[in-house]
Structure 1
Amino acid sequence: MGTTHCRTCLALLGLGVLVGGVAASARAQQGSIAGQVTDQATGHPLAGARITIQGTALVTSSNAEGRYTLRNVPAGAITVRATFIGYAAATRGLTVAPGEAATADLALKLTPYTLDAVVSTVSGDQTRKETPNAISTVRADSLVQTRPITNMNDLLGARVPGVEVLPGNITGAGARVRIRGTSSLSLNNEPIYVIDGVRMESANNSSSIGIGGTNPSRVNDIDPNEIESYDVVKGPAASTLYGTAATNGVFVIKTKRGTPGPARFNVFAETGIIKDHNDYPVAYRAWTTGSTPSNGTQCFLTQTVRATTDPQYCKQDSITTFNLFKDPDATPLGTGYRQQYGLQVSGGSDVARYFVSGEWEDERGVLRMPDFAWGRLVTARQIDAVPYEQYRPNA
């Protein structure tokens, strides 16, 4: 019995030594890279530059001093690439020896040209040149600052060719969104929404609560102030990347992230009224008088027409008008209102970055039979931590 336990212990010990030896051997075949990213003209460090190793998934960003560190770099000849907004990309080739640290400083040149557009796909962020599919990108953060955008319908509509947004006909109703038109007469034609890699339930019938003959949509729960950008994937490319459920297209939404630095606050408040300015048609009523008191209350159209030739039939003597929507005592329409308040806080360091957001929106429609109201409370938080293998303080 004791011999059996001893053999088992020796086998486990041998397995642990073997695994440890393989891990140590793998680490021995890897190295690290450290360096600094600076402005080519002034020599000033560039904080927040994106550094990648071409052909690998290794990526990091420079700290406040422009320095960076990449660990677990495959040994051999590699190419380091650095990008920064407003600067041309810079690359540098070098050879990494196993178990040793290499140095790669990169100087970026200021350029009036923009960087290659980066799109988000199911396989990660890629430049537009690396993506063979038809993908359109919209910078939502700049649109929200310059346009009167209050909900996702405003953000999606009239931004990308082929995308049609038909807003709901009542407060709180979901919009109908179509990418490249309607593809089926019996099945769902709504596109799918992927937020930071997670698919959300977006169908208008996803809620059991009906609103005036229509349904709300979970897409209305998204706060456009929290979106950094979104990509629109159309046609067969959507099915290739996201499966058969994406036949109607995909909206790939990327939310805002914190950036290194002190806490930055963004507070906003909006309020307004909603009125219906449609010119509804006027209703007409013809009043007639009979030839005798007994038939004065039973005058039909044929009798009124014949009254011109036969006095015994009814005669039209007046016409009155009535507009239900203009009468203040009878109209079902009133004055609606909406109010929206929000707070955003972002910041962080080289190790961790955060973005916290909260918003409250309240809207009451113009219809008063009964009142139609809609409210939304949204909170969001994003905390990004740099893995220890990719970060070294004071590198």
Structure 2
Amino acid sequence: MSETHLVGSVLRAGRLAGGACLCAMALASLAGAQEASAFGGIRGVIRDTTGQSLAGVQITIRGASLVAETDLDGRFELGKIRPGMLSLRFRRLGFRPDTVDLLVLGGTVVPLDVTLERLAVSLTPVVVRGRTELTGWRQGFYQRRESGGGHFFTREDIEKRNPSLMTDMFRMIPGVTIQPSQGIIRNQLRFRGQRGCAPLTWLDGSPLAAGEFDMDALSPGSIEAFEVYTGSTAPPRFAVAPGIGPRTCGVIVIWSREGQRRPRRPPPVSAASQIAKLVDERQIFTAAQVDVTARQDTTRPVKPIYPDALYDAHVSGSVMVEFIVAATGEVDSERISVVFASHPLFADAVRNALEHAMYVPAVRGGLPVHQVVQHEFVFVPDSSRRRRG
């Protein structure tokens, strides 16, 4: 065969192969389109009668094992549903269940809005009024922060910067110099050009040392808040330390965390589903199933801390959470489910407050028992204070 005939044969074979490939792609695309049009979907949002979006609502299809759950915005989506009439059931503890029948067509997504009716609430909502009810070191910290004169950092600030070392938090403070050293203290803090003079450091209200303290000996994760005074503006309480005397080289005041909070990992099954399953199995009870319902312990009230960013911006809001009060009065911190939240930071504040909270347990048949409760927390900013810039 000549070279010309050989090239022509190859070209013809290539065209045939290319045509076959295009046909195969077209058939695959057509099959995919037909498969997609063979199914439908449902996309919706679930609210209560006040218009509040509900999280953790379970959605099931009668006769099928498919289960979905609403997110924090009350939204859900079901895909690859065979066309036809369906019966959807919506369930959330604390709300009256509802069933909706609807027709799903192939190749379409059906929009759906559902409203669930709230059942009776046994617990009085907790109102967080700005920072008027703060106690302990937080009360003084935020009062000094409002007055100014220093630099103030909270847990939110530390997490936002995510420093490797504690001294990294000082790099952005005006008037602070970090001096590398070959000694035991690798990073020495100096304020306002005071090269040979170390600042006085306090931890939880007590002075740390007469000499210099190694700030990097503290883990950033162990600090809840800290204050820095680079000049002579330190409050009188911290300007002079017993046995040390006055210090003119600046002051650092550190407040440690009350118990290291465990990192939260998303469980394979949501807290709302776990709690509903425990109720179905009669391992825990609802308010309607006990003789005396669980309630707040007035001697140890739950007091969430108003999130700094929302407090400074005068943002109000509310959160309702669902959790288990054990027969001991302790809160099961592994199963705290958000029913609704106007802002995720409010939900985080309530979760943190509940980790070490105590309630008066429910009573059934004369004995304390586990009960699922839903408790609302309302955050109201202080209208008399100025907005921080």
TM-score by length of 1: 0.31
Which of the two has greater strand per residue?
Answer: 1
Tell which has more relative contact order, 1 or 2 (C-alpha 8 A, sep 6+). Answer: 2
Q: What's the TM-score once normalised by structure 2's chain length?
A: 0.31
Larger Rg: 1
- Structure having the higher helix fraction is 2
